[in-house]
Amino acid sequence: MAFRQAFRALSTSTRSTLKIGLIPADGIGHEVIPAAKEAILALGSSIPKPEFFLLDAGFEYFKRKGVALPEETVQVLKNECDCALFGAVSSPSRKVVGYSSPIVALRKELDLYANIRPVIAVAPTPEEKPNVDLVVVRENTECLYVKQEVLTTGKHGKEARATRLITERASRRIGQTAFDIAVGRPRKHLTIIHKSNVLSVTDGLFRETVRGVPALPESAGRLDDVTVAEQLVDSAVYRLFREPQIYDVMVAPNLYGDIISDAAAALVGSLGLIPSINAGDTFVMGEPVHGSAPDIAGKSIANPLAAIRSAALMLRHLGYGDAAARIENAVDIVIRDGRILTPDLGGSAKTQDVTAEVLKRI
């Protein structure tokens, strides 16, 4: 797939071991992260010998211990690990005193400013349905996810306000990441997603900063072949469903990127297929896009493919492209074959059955 060919890896050094943090967190994370671990182990000597660190985080841990992200987990990731895999987190819709999402906190602690989510249709699609091969590049540290909210009382009763933060620095970094991905893809097309017709200050800054990336001295003409388009976020979602083939790389602030990538999953069959990485300049953490799915947790029917694909993306980002391709190709074969799939894809297989079939193909 084009994304896989275009991926720009972190520079690698010679390693005798590859130290990987495993953070299952909540719900089906405890079922899909072990599947991703098995896929990594199946690679054998094509990667450095993996060493795994099982780490705590999540709402379930918070309910037991009173903290969602233990300091020990952060320190092990920073000081012991080369990379990590995160499962899924339960985020209650009501306010819970003392609780804050550990995945949001980890992105900030490790400066994982880019959330990269490829959405690729593998199974053959009917002729009337265009093929889907796009990448959502989501800024990962700002927007409304800074979680600065206040509740006050005014003359009309309760008033809730949230601060939305967009900075030039964060917008430039995510813009550079998006352009780097776009320039390596065959179509070389980038769409900036915003709502600057209403949010002229915040989205205006995001839009202008990303547009200015090709003019930066470090770009030096390297990005001249990239075609840049813009789309308002509401119409972008509409067009995503009507004509997904127009999109190649989409770059967006945090909230828009979250919504768009989840919506795009519907185009390829299931959230259980969509991988992602949270990437910074020195660390990468794979994370399936799906949530903790408490309704199916413990039933052994969770789709492990997004987590397995996230492991492959993580390895590709570290420079192990051939090993990543073995995992990706194995997953593609299982999907195309169609006999051993979990219920979200219309099958009846168990999580462990799908995992075993992928391992056999690796």
Q: What is the pLDDT tens value at each position of the chain, 362 positions in all?
A: 344 444 455 545 567 899 999 999 999 999 999 999 999 999 999 999 999 999 999 999 999 999 999 999 999 999 999 999 999 999 887 888 889 899 999 999 999 999 999 999 886 555 545 578 999 999 999 999 888 889 999 888 999 999 999 999 999 999 999 999 999 999 999 999 999 999 999 999 999 999 999 988 888 889 999 999 999 999 999 999 999 999 999 999 999 999 998 888 888 888 889 999 999 999 999 999 999 999 999 999 999 999 999 999 999 999 999 999 999 999 999 999 999 999 999 999 999 999 999 999 99
Q: Identify whether 156 is part of a domain.
A: yes
Q: Identify whether 118 is part of a domain.
A: no
- Tokens representing 23? 């953070």
Which residue, among 47, 42, 40, has the nearest Cα to 16 in the 3D structure?
Answer: 47
Quickly tell me which residue has 């660190």 as its tokens.
Answer: 53
Q: Are residues 166 and 255 in the same domain?
A: yes
Whole-model pTM? 0.90
Residues 40, 18: Cα–Cα separation, whole Å: 10
Which residue, among 57, 70, 71, has the nearest Cα to 29 in the 3D structure?
Answer: 57
Q: Are residues 167 and 220 in the same domain?
A: yes
Q: Identify whether 248 is part of a domain.
A: yes
pLDDT at 4 (0 to 100): 47
pLDDT at 13 (0 to 100): 53
Q: Are residues 309 and 333 in the same domain?
A: yes
Beta carbons within 8 Å of 222's beta carbon, 6+ residues apart: 183
Q: Are residues 141 and 258 in the same domain?
A: yes
Its domain, for residue 160, covers: 133-267
CA distances from 300 to 21, 89, 106 (A): 23, 18, 28
Q: Are residues 97 and 141 in the same domain?
A: no
* CATH number for the domain that contains residue 12: 3.40.718.10
Of 267, 291, 306, which marks where a domain is finished?
267
Q: Identify whether 274 is part of a domain.
A: no
Q: Are residues 137 and 252 in the same domain?
A: yes
Of 267, 302, 335, which marks where a domain is finished?
267
Residue 281, CB-side half-sphere exposure with 13 Å CA sphere:
5
Task: List active site positions.
Answer: 145, 195, 234, 258, 262
Q: Are residues 237 and 299 in the same domain?
A: no
Cβ contact 55:77 at 8 Å: yes
Q: Are residues 146 and 40 in the same domain?
A: no
Of 219, 234, 267, which marks where a domain is finished?
267
